[in-house]
Amino acid sequence: MTDSNIPASGHPKGLYTLFFSEMWERFCYYGMRVLLTLFLVKSLLKGDSEASLIYGAYTALIYAAPVLGGRMADQFLGYRYAILLGAVLMAIGEFLILGGTESFMLYGMGALIVGNGFFKANISTIVGKLYSDNDPRRDSGFTIFYIGINIGALLATTVVAFVGETYGFEYGFGLAGAGMLAGLSIFWLGRDNYSAAPGLDITEAGMKQVGPLKVYQLISLGSLALIPLCYFLISQNEFMTYLLTGLFVLVAASLIRAGIKEGPMWRDRMIALVIFMLINVVFWACFEQAGTSLTLFADRNVSRDILGWTMPASMTQFFNPAFIIIFGSIFSVMWVKLDAIGKNPSIPMKFALGILQLGAGFLITLVGLQFADEQAMVPLLTLVFLYLLHTTGELFLSPIGLSMVTKLAPKNIAGTAMGGWFLSFAIANYAGGIIASLTGGHGDTGETLTASAGLAKYTDVFSTIGMVLVAFAVLIAVLNKPLNKLMHGVK
């Protein structure tokens, strides 16, 4: 890497180009997601359950797509072309949703899924390749990059949420699409800044001729063919259950089988990894209520008046990225300090404490219920404290997950292990849609519930989730020693 690419801050110039590109891509993604459930319920007149299942299927596919997108970039497309292709597809997806019909929405979601698969998997890879393997700036660089992700999410859950609910959903989706075009422009115009990263160009295999087209062109056209497949899987989302369950069994079996070949220690570590994948599914299935049941709860049963201004319901999702930005650096310092004095919790205990806080967040709704007014509206502070606990829980669990996978897996199956970890997020998001479908604002016979009956149903489901999570956290804490034994020294 040349000296001209390293500014006074000590990080490669390319980091800041990628920072702003990713920030605007996350603005696009979260901008669409923050409005999705309310758009489905209020504009397309979907029932709560159907809207939640559509949302769950969409976000599940969003998390599954980078596994394929990363592999295509490694073998054929190169990272730069894959990201450009992904950015264009995501922008097209946002603008398709402006058509306003269910078909336009589903095709738009399909384009966003495929585009996200190419973009998300590969921009983080370029960040890593800006640094040599032993570069001490690497962790700091990824922390800066992670801040960009959360700034994008924060802007989306404030600006796009406000515009979409105040002026019309189409303006919110259009703004998200404009954000993606901004990210695309920054990535392309700043290409010289990250040009030193290896693997940017289309590979030799990607340039091979197949009939009238090259392989990378065939893959680009093939990616368009995946959009109708996503349309089908979202609209007929019952197939997702079989697809994701089958994939999980396949990946878990292949990981354990590969571990057995490497010896008893690796076998045990792979068993531990599969257990942590299941724990990860439970955490994120409940955490991801933010975009579905908690947003509908905010819309119907949370008093959002602040000094004469009413906060849009979708905008309540901004508490999570805001708290991440506030507490993220504090937590990263805290782990280092605890490690220095030998008090850093083990990985299983961090997972247990994270899930405990997630459960406590849901139980906050029972406190809010005590302060409900005559219109069955609970104070906004209910959601503030709920999201505060959810975010601190996330910081106990999320940042260590990827690092844990790289430590537990043998190098020859590291890619499969990471794919399995991302698959657990996909399963969690779909499971989250199923959980949200149980909370709906409708009774067992389909009638629309009154505000007070709806509040009772929401708090009943949320408190049940909270108690189950607390019990699950206690179980993981009890199993701390056996899990650590399976990990054979990984911390």
- Lowest-confidence range among 216-220, 245-249, 326-330, 428-432? 326-330
pTM to 2 decimals? 0.91
How do residues 140-178 score in pLDDT, each as one tens digit?
Answer: 788 788 888 899 999 999 999 999 999 999 999 999 999
**For range 405-414, the mean pLDDT:** 80
- pLDDT tens, position by position, 237-259: 989 999 999 989 998 999 999 99
At 385, phi and psi to the nearest 5? -70, -35
Distance CA 293, CA 441 (A): 9
What pLDDT shows up at residue 447? 66
Q: Hey, CA dihedral for 132, 276, 419, 24, is it positive or negative?
A: negative
DSSP assignment letter at 1? -
CB atoms within 10 A of CB 89: 25
- What per-residue confidence (pLDDT) applies to 401? 78
DSSP codes of every residue in 396-462 = HHHHHHHHHHHHHS-GGGHHHHHHHHHHHHHHHHHHHHHHHTTT-SB-TTSPBPPHHHHHHHHHHHH
The span from the CA of 427 to the CA of 180, in Å, is 26
Query: CB of 163 within 8 A of CB of 172?
Result: yes
Per residue in 348-386, pLDDT tens?
999 999 999 999 999 999 999 999 999 999 999 999 999
Q: Give CA–CA dist 175/155, Å, rounded.
A: 11
Q: Which domains does the chain have, with CATH numbers?
A: 11-236 (1.20.1250.20), 239-491 (1.20.1250.20)
